[in-house]
């Protein structure tokens, strides 16, 4: 068993594009769920629209990379409008069911063979990297130390992702301490009270859905940036995993979603390397290596249950700012 | 007028009546009904496959639609520019491959080579030990053989009714639990899978007969529901955990259970005995397999018994009272905890039965089979009105028929989309559902 290799992989996963993508999506959910109290269970769709918008506009329409990102983000804004207008008047659990259904519709539309020419159906999309890599300011070569050794393209994706993540966190921090943010938190605590103050609650919720949706779309783009767009990623479990990361860090915080995502991926990578290694040296004789890869997903579910029951405010959260008010 | 001509005229007339309907519906789906470009369907999902090549005098024909069905599995495929197609199919069944002659060029048909086959465009395929088989049609100029739209429509409605009744078994449980505890239980999907997996363990692993395995699976499911309530949901209710929190707990439970099934059964598809029973023709071109008929009868009987229980018995009345207003019910001397316990046991038992029937309908048992229909169940429950048992049943039948018939108009891999879109649209115009009351929407 190569402990150094396992630790190195785990360390590397802490700043992997997937981790940054999760962190962005979790920030979006913090906006939706943590601050506004909207139980959006369709985050996977925002991520899918970001990723597919980016890939399709580059591959099919020949857009440059920044054009592709604008399309992805624009698509998520439109989706937020379409999703929000009928659903934001609904109560929490209804909203959850409808958003999860909408996310499934989006996924099936990307997966169907009908639009194979554009979406690649079950194969997904790949080979859209040229434009983004052409903009890479880092000269060719391999950089880094310890577990974080990547080539120029690897660093370009990570640095770009971290900058976007920092920007998103800054935006969220700024808006949440503005008067707009206070209204948003007021909606979470008592919608009727805010309505009585003459605020248009529906409009505020819609704005929140759109802002969080943009974070989600950027998360989807960063997730897909280094490799490919795979329709198997954007299943409902993705939303649940992002929720786990969010609740782990703290739903109504700025840094909670980021820390939660880093821990989520760190633990996932550690387990996915460590458990098969333990099986191979005979420490866990009752399972096979395939089974050991399933264990970590069982643990995600158990962790989600325990978190919600015993520490709903997460690691960084404040118990007074509990989102589970009703 | 000879018989062949007569038959064709009759079909044309019948088709004429439905043309308006087709035009209207296909206009609605025109966005989705673009020509499919793919030639490989479900190849990633299954190890076995059927492949073929559609050519006319060695010129490949593009855009010819074939339907592959067998043992309840059905999939459409369209040939690519080289006239080739390939579909992945589940294990160990015989499949019939139907070439849709409407998609062939004008004046071209499948030729009957033997001379005594009424339907040369339908062929039977057996998967050999290699896991793959080739299926080609002899194509030339000749008379077509098409199943009329009406017959297809009726067949889909019958299938949809079967699917809807099965959904209903799952939906009633989810609706009862919601009505009595306020919980939208995402782990209900895993209670469905649980029933199927238990039936598999008893019938295949232990080798007991299936007629004994199914009641045992249902009993085990009931016990599972009881232990979930006693071990998890009751303590959480006593702790005063909010409904949104409970819902997220149920999501966590759903993930944990789903991957536990995968842990023990692996990622593949397994079949219950009798899943390959032969089709029995009923009327027209409508045929149902023996298991599907039995499954429909079981659904109807169970739902009738349940309805009697809910309306007539004391505990059924108490259940409705708790659904209506838990505090008032408690104040009038109803033991709410006991009612909730009974509801969990019943919901789990019916979900387990639904799982067995779903295993025959799909066909096959997979670790995530329950999750595949969870959203349809939610759609059915919302359509009928959350918290109402009979609303859930009505919603399920509508959703089942909608899903099955919609694949006549839209690609079959989008057939769930229609039901989910209906769910969203219903919430726009009548959020309380068909039989629900408006106070529940908040």
Interface test with A, best of B256, B410, B411 (most A CBs within 10 A): B256
* CATH number of the domain residue B349 falls in: 1.10.3470
The residue segments making up the domain with residue A99 are: 3-321
The pLDDT score that the predictor gives to residue A244 is 95
Domain-embedded: residue A104? yes
Residue A118 near chain B (CB below 8 Å): no
Model confidence over B141-161: pLDDT tens digits?
665 555 677 878 888 898 899
Domain-embedded: residue A326? no
The residue segments making up the domain with residue B212 are: 153-441
Of A91, A114, A291, the CB nearest to B441: A91
- Judge if B121 and B183 occupy the same domain: no
Q: What is the pLDDT along chain A (326 residues), one digit of tens a residue?
A: 688 999 999 999 999 999 999 999 999 999 999 999 999 999 999 999 999 999 999 999 999 999 999 999 999 999 999 888 878 877 777 788 889 999 999 999 999 888 888 888 888 899 999 999 999 999 988 898 888 999 999 999 999 999 999 999 999 999 999 999 999 999 988 889 999 999 999 999 999 999 999 999 999 999 999 989 999 999 999 999 999 999 999 988 999 999 999 999 999 999 999 999 999 888 888 888 888 889 999 999 999 999 999 888 888 887 777 655 44
DSSP string for B418-435: HHHHHHHHHHHH-TT-SS
- Judge if B254 and B347 occupy the same domain: yes
Nearest Cα to Cα of residue B359 among B197, B206, B224:
B197
**Which residues are CB-contacts of B400 (< 8 A; sequence separation ≥ 6)?**
B160, B161, B162, B163, B164, B165, B166, B167, B168, B380
Residue numbers in B near A236 (CB within 8 A): 371
Residue numbers in A near B243 (CB within 8 A): 92-93, 326
The SS3 of residue B101 is helix
Looking at chain B from residue 287 to 326, which residues have their Cβ under 8 Å from any Cβ of chain A? none
Domain-embedded: residue A99? yes
The pLDDT score that the predictor gives to residue B398 is 92
Residue A121 near chain B (CB below 8 Å): yes
Looking at chain A from residue 157 to 216, which residues have their Cβ under 8 Å from any Cβ of chain B? none
Interface test with A, best of B88, B403, B427, B429 (most A CBs within 10 A): B427
Residue A324 near chain B (CB below 8 Å): yes
**B184 phi and psi, to 5 degrees?**
-85, 100
Contact check, Cβ <8 Å, A325/B242:
yes
The pLDDT score that the predictor gives to residue B35 is 37
- Judge if B23 and B61 occupy the same domain: no
Q: How far apart are CA A123 and CA B155, in angstroms?
A: 33
- Judge if B302 and B324 occupy the same domain: yes
Q: How far apart are CA B238 and CA B216, in angstroms?
A: 31
CB pairs under 8 A between A and B: 154
Residue numbers in B near A301 (CB within 8 A): 252-259
The pLDDT score that the predictor gives to residue B12 is 43
Residue in B closest to A291 by C-alpha: B263
Of B32, B251, B428, the CB nearest to A86: B428
Q: And the tokens for B406? A: 């919609």
Of B184, B417, B428, the CB nearest to A109: B417
The SS3 of residue B41 is strand
Contact check, Cβ <8 Å, A114/B442:
no
- Judge if B142 and B167 occupy the same domain: no
- Judge if B140 and B165 occupy the same domain: no
Q: How far apart are CA B362 and CA B154, in angstroms?
A: 20
Residue A114 near chain B (CB below 8 Å): yes
Domain-embedded: residue A8? yes
Residue in A closest to B235 by C-alpha: A309
Q: Total structural domains in chain B?
A: 3
Residue found by looking up tokens 């999939």 in the block:
B75
Do the beta carbons of residue A199 and residue A179 sit within 8 Å?
no
What is the pLDDT confidence band of residue B129, given thresholds at 50, 70 and 90? low
Q: Total structural domains in chain A?
A: 1
- Judge if B344 and B313 occupy the same domain: yes
Do the beta carbons of residue B126 and residue B133 sit within 8 Å?
yes
Largest CA distance in chain A: 66
Å between B84 CA and nearest CA of chain A: 15
Higher pLDDT, B304 or A321: B304
Q: How far apart are CA B262 and CA A290, in angstroms?
A: 10
- Least confident range of B96-100, B172-176, B352-356, B394-398: B96-100
Looking at chain B from residue 167 to 226, which residues have their Cβ under 8 Å from any Cβ of chain A? 184
Model confidence over B318-362: pLDDT tens digits?
999 998 888 899 999 999 999 999 999 999 999 999 999 999 988
Model confidence over B9-55: pLDDT tens digits?
444 444 443 444 444 444 444 333 333 344 677 777 777 788 888 87
Å between B42 CA and nearest CA of chain A: 9
Model confidence over B49-85: pLDDT tens digits?
888 888 777 777 778 888 888 766 778 888 887 778 8
Q: How far apart are CA B53 and CA B82, in angstroms?
A: 8
Contact check, Cβ <8 Å, B244/A39:
yes
Residue numbers in A near B379 (CB within 8 A): 101
The pLDDT score that the predictor gives to residue B441 is 42
Residue numbers in B near A324 (CB within 8 A): 242, 244-245
Do the beta carbons of residue B155 and residue B285 sit within 8 Å?
yes
- Judge if B3 and B87 occupy the same domain: no
Model confidence over B83-115: pLDDT tens digits?
788 888 877 667 888 887 777 777 677 776 655
**Which residues are CB-contacts of B310 (< 8 A; sequence separation ≥ 6)?**
B316, B319, B320, B389
Looking at chain A from residue 35 to 54, which residues have their Cβ under 8 Å from any Cβ of chain B? 39
Contact check, Cβ <8 Å, B41/A93:
no
Contact check, Cβ <8 Å, B262/A294:
yes
Residue A305 near chain B (CB below 8 Å): yes
- Judge if B126 and B224 occupy the same domain: no
Contact check, Cβ <8 Å, A117/B37:
yes
* CATH number of the domain residue A151 falls in: 1.10.3470
Q: How far apart are CA B251 and CA B186, in angstroms?
A: 5
- Judge if B23 and B43 occupy the same domain: no
Å between A39 CA and nearest CA of chain B: 8
Q: Which residue, B87, B114, B146, sits at the end of a domain? A: B146
Contact check, Cβ <8 Å, A100/B251:
no
Q: Which residue, B101, B127, B146, sits at the end of a domain? A: B146
- Judge if B160 and B44 occupy the same domain: no
Domain-embedded: residue A90? yes
The pLDDT score that the predictor gives to residue B388 is 79
- Judge if B247 and B276 occupy the same domain: yes
């Amino acid at each position: 068993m190569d402990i150094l290799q396992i630790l190195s992989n785990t360390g590397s996963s802490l700043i992997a594009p997937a981790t940054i993508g999760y962190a962005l999506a979790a920030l979006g959910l913090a906006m939706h769920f943590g601050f506004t109290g909207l139980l959006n269970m369709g985050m996977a769709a925002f991520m899918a629209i970001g990723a597919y918008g980016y890939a399709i506009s580059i591959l099919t329409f020949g857009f440059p990379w920044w054009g592709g990102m604008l399309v992805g983000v624009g698509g998520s804004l439109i989706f937020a409008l379409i999703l929000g207008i009928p659903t934001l008047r609904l109560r929490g659990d209804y909203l959850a069911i409808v958003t999860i259904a909408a996310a499934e519709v989006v996924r099936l539309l990307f997966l169907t063979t009908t639009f194979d020419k554009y979406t690649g159906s079950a194969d997904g999309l790949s080979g859209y990297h040229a434009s983004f890599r052409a903009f890479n300011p880092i000269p060719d070569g391999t950089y880094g130390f310890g577990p974080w050794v990547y080539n120029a393209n690897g660093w370009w994706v990570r640095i770009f992702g971290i900058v976007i993540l920092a920007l998103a966190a800054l935006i969220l921090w700024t808006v949440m301490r503005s008067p707009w943010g206070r209204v948003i938190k007021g909606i979470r605590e008592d919608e009727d009270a805010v309505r009585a103050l003459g605020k248009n609650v529906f409009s505020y919720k819609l704005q929140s859905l759109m802002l969080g949706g943009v974070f989600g779309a950027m998360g989807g783009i960063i997730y897909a940036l280094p490799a490919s767009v795979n329709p198997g990623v954007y299943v409902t479990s993705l939303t649940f995993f992002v929720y786990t990361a969010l609740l782990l860090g703290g739903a109504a915080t700025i840094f909670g979603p980021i820390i939660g995502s880093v821990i989520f991926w760190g633990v996932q990578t550690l387990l996915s390397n460590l458990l098969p290694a333990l099986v191979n040296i005979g420490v866990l004789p009752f399972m096979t290596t395939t089974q050991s890869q399933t264990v970590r997903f069982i643990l995600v579910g158990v962790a989600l249950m325990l978190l919600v029951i015993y520490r709903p405010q997460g690691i960084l959260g404040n118990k007074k700012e509990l989102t589970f008010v009703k | 007028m000879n018989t062949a001509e007569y038959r064709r005229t009759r079909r044309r007339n019948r088709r004429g009546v439905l043309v308006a309907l087709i035009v209207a519906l296909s206009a609605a789906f025109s966005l989705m009904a673009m020509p499919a470009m793919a030639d490989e369907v479900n190849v990633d999902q299954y190890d076995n496959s059927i492949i073929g090549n559609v050519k006319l005098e060695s010129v490949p024909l593009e855009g010819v639609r074939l339907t592959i069905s067998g043992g309840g599995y059905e999939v459409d495929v369209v040939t690519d520019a080289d006239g080739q197609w390939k579909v992945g199919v589940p294990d160990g069944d015989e499949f019939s491959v139907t070439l849709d002659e409407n998609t062939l060029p004008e004046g071209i048909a499948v030729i009957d080579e033997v001379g005594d086959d009424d339907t040369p465009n339908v062929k039977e395929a057996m998967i050999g030990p290699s896991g793959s088989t080739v299926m080609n049609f002899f194509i030339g100029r000749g008379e077509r053989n098409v199943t009329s739209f009406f017959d297809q429509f009726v067949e889909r409605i019958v299938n949809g009714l079967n699917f809807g009744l099965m959904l209903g078994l799952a939906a009633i449980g989810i609706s009862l639990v919601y009505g009595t505890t306020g919980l939208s239980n995402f782990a209900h999907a895993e209670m469905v899978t649980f029933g199927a997996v238990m039936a598999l363990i008893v019938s295949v692993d232990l080798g007991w007969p299936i007629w004994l395995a199914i009641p045992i699976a249902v009993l085990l499911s009931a016990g599972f529901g009881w232990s979930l309530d006693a071990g998890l949901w009751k303590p959480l209710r006593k702790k005063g955990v909010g409904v949104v929190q409970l819902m997220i707990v149920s999501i966590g439970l759903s993930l944990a259970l789903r991957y536990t099934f995968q842990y023990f059964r692996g990622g593949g598809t397994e079949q219950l005995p009798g899943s390959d029973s032969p089709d029995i023709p009923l009327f027209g071109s409508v045929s149902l397999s023996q298991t599907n008929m039995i499954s429909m009868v079981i659904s109807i009987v169970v739902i009738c018994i349940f309805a009697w229980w809910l309306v007539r018995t004391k505990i059924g009345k108490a259940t409705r009272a708790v659904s209506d207003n838990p505090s008032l019910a408690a104040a009038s001397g109803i033991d709410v905890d006991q009612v909730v316990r009974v509801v969990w046991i019943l919901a789990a038992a019916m979900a387990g039965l639904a799982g067995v029937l779903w295993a025959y309908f799909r066909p096959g048992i997979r670790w995530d089979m329950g999750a595949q229909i969870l959203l349809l169940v939610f759609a059915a429950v919302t359509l009928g009105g959350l918290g109402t048992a009979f609303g859930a049943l009505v919603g399920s039948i509508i959703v089942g028929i909608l899903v099955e018939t919609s694949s006549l108009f839209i690609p079959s891999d989008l057939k769930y989309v229609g039901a989910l879109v209906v769910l969203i649209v219903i919430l726009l115009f009548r959020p309380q559902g068909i039989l629900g009351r408006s106070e529940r929407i908040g």
